Structure 1
Amino acid sequence: MKQLSNVLTLGNLFCGALAIIFILYTPQYIATFNGIDYTVTNPAPVYWASGMVVLAGVLDFFDGLVARWLGIQSPMGKELDSLADVVSFGVVPGMILFRLLRSAYMQQPDVFDVSYFNLAPALLLPCFAAYRLARFNLDTRQSHFFIGVPTPAVGLLVASFPLIMLYNSFNLAHWLQNIWLLYIIIGLLCYLMVAEIPMISLKFKSLGLAENWPRLLLLLLAIISIPLLHYAAVPFAFVCYVILSLVAPPGRIINNE
């Protein structure tokens, strides 16, 4: 039982590694149309990668819950959790954004002139995620709230993009093929992860309504949005999370430097 939380954390890492395999494994087929051969890429593995990130998020939630419930929290578990998170919620989302940027550039007439430098900004996401996680392990101010958006929230947001494009809810697929919007999303997410902004933690420390109303409101909005927005409920909940954290700051940041 002492290793149960670590097993869940390693399950999180396993899902992240499997998601990377899904993203890299993109079978290509030759299709003939009007006598012309076209190379067609099967996008299904990317959708499976999104599912793996969601499963990693579930395991990431329960590993901390189990550790607190059994009283088996340890420095090793904390470090292991961050190592798993940087893969599942840093590297994998970065690779998803890399694929989305590549797909967006494929729509351009000068696609063959596109350099990999145009796609490289997607790799900033895992870099900022690693920085955010390393700082979290050293920061003693984040026991009741987060400073900066947590990496799992960013990972789940990006993981929803392929699924939104698959079902094209509210014609959002068109916007996720916009190169400049993708660059803005990358820059904004990188900033939010390291920004000195207090963000709501979903851990309930007490049952008081005065302390927990932002959490309860966020959960209520997320639940209501699911049948209405489907996969678009994820970015909606993310935006609500950031707005609620700004409107009702969960704590006062203490500068220990």
Structure 2
Amino acid sequence: MRKHIANCFTLLNLVFGCLAIIQILAGLPGLGLSFAAGGAAEADLVARMCVASLFICLAGVVDFLDGLIARLLGAASEMGKQLDSLADLVSFGVAPGLILYQFLLIAFSNGNLAAGASMNYWYLLPALLVPLAGAYRLARFNLGTHFSTEFEGLPIPAGGILIASFPLIFKNTDNQALQQLMHTSWFWYAVTLIVSFLMISTIAMMSLKFKNLSFIQNWPKFLLLILAIVLGISLHWLAVPLVFIVYILLSVIMLRKGTPL
């Protein structure tokens, strides 16, 4: 029974991932906006992706809770591990990959999605590298790694939530330079390649799980948490990519020095 409680949270992660995909592709009744012509169609698509991003963030919260609940109940199991990976692939691999796909469509259609119907869709398919890299990362994780307290490669939830932050940044920023950058296909290709490479790499990444509350043993995690709160209050969704960069730098610098994280 205890195992089923944790597994229900894992399945809820999968539900949120599926809802995000539906929202990106068509829109849920009452939440999606209908396509309009020209620039209005772009605004509708971005609005739908913003709702999908919130579903992905909810999946991230549930993904954290299912592991926590499994540990508290002593209900960790091989079944739960496999189920968690399948849910993560949908919520943090497929759904974010579709967000990148839609952003590439916006970039190549120059703001007119109706004109994008005649474009070469081979230009959009690199977005699929994210779910492919995520699947590889999860399969390798399930087979076991030679790292005991750190992750081998970027955890797929971290990459998925990074990508999920972009629609919310895109919709809420007034910075013209940032808006122009996010209308550029090369920016999305760079995001796709960086996230995919980090996931399939063997670079040691800091685990964000606290084994105890000792500040001395966990100061990099506390630093990251405090930074996330401060930047979140001041920069809102733009804080996510900045915290992501700090997380990568902290992981690389500290672990290369041999500091256990």
- TM-score w.r.t. length of structure 1: 0.89
d(CA) in 2 for partners of 1:40, 1:165: 15
- The alignment yields a C-alpha RMSD, in angstroms, of 2.1
Runs (5+) with no aligned partner, structure 2: 28-32
d(CA) in 1 for partners of 2:164, 2:203: 23
Closer/same/farther in 2, CA of residues 137 and 222 from structure 1, 3 Å limit:
same
Q: What is the deviation of 1:176?
A: 1.4
1:137-156 alignment to 2 at 5 Å?
A: 137-156=142-161
8 Å Cα contact 1:164/1:232 also seen in 2: yes
2:101 counterpart of 1:101: no
Q: What is the deviation of 1:211?
A: 2.4
Deviates more, 1:119-128 or 1:134-143: 134-143
Closer/same/farther in 2, CA of residues 39 and 187 from structure 1, 3 Å limit:
closer
Q: For residue 26 of structure 2, what is the amino acid of its counterpart?
A: Y
Q: Deviations over 1:172-209 (max 9, x none)?
A: 23211111111111111100001111111111123333
Q: What is the deviation of 1:246?
A: 0.9
Partner of 1:205: 211
Partner of 1:126: 131
Partner of 1:114: 119
Runs (5+) with no aligned partner, structure 1: 32-37, 253-257
Partner of 2:49: 46
2:71 counterpart of 1:71: no
2:87 counterpart of 1:84: yes
8 Å Cα contact 1:169/1:230 also seen in 2: no
8 Å Cα contact 1:145/1:250 also seen in 2: no
2:58 counterpart of 1:55: yes
Partner of 1:9: 10
8 Å Cα contact 1:8/1:63 also seen in 2: yes
Partner of 2:166: 161
Partner of 1:20: 21
Q: Deviations over 1:13-57 (max 9, x none)?
A: 0000011100111554556xxxxxx58422222111001000000
Aligned length in residues: 246
Q: For residue 151 of structure 1, what is the amino acid of its counterpart?
A: I
Closer/same/farther in 2, CA of residues 71 and 103 from structure 1, 3 Å limit:
same
d(CA) in 1 for partners of 2:230, 2:40: 38
Q: Deviations over 1:114-166 (max 9, x none)?
A: 31110000011000000000000112434411011100000100000000010
- TM-score w.r.t. length of structure 2: 0.88
8 Å Cα contact 2:105/2:116 also seen in 1: no
Partner of 1:214: 220
d(CA) in 2 for partners of 1:103, 1:92: 17
Closer/same/farther in 2, CA of residues 122 and 29 from structure 1, 3 Å limit:
closer
8 Å Cα contact 2:7/2:66 also seen in 1: yes
1:219-230 alignment to 2 at 5 Å?
A: 219-230=225-236
Give SS of 1:248's match: helix
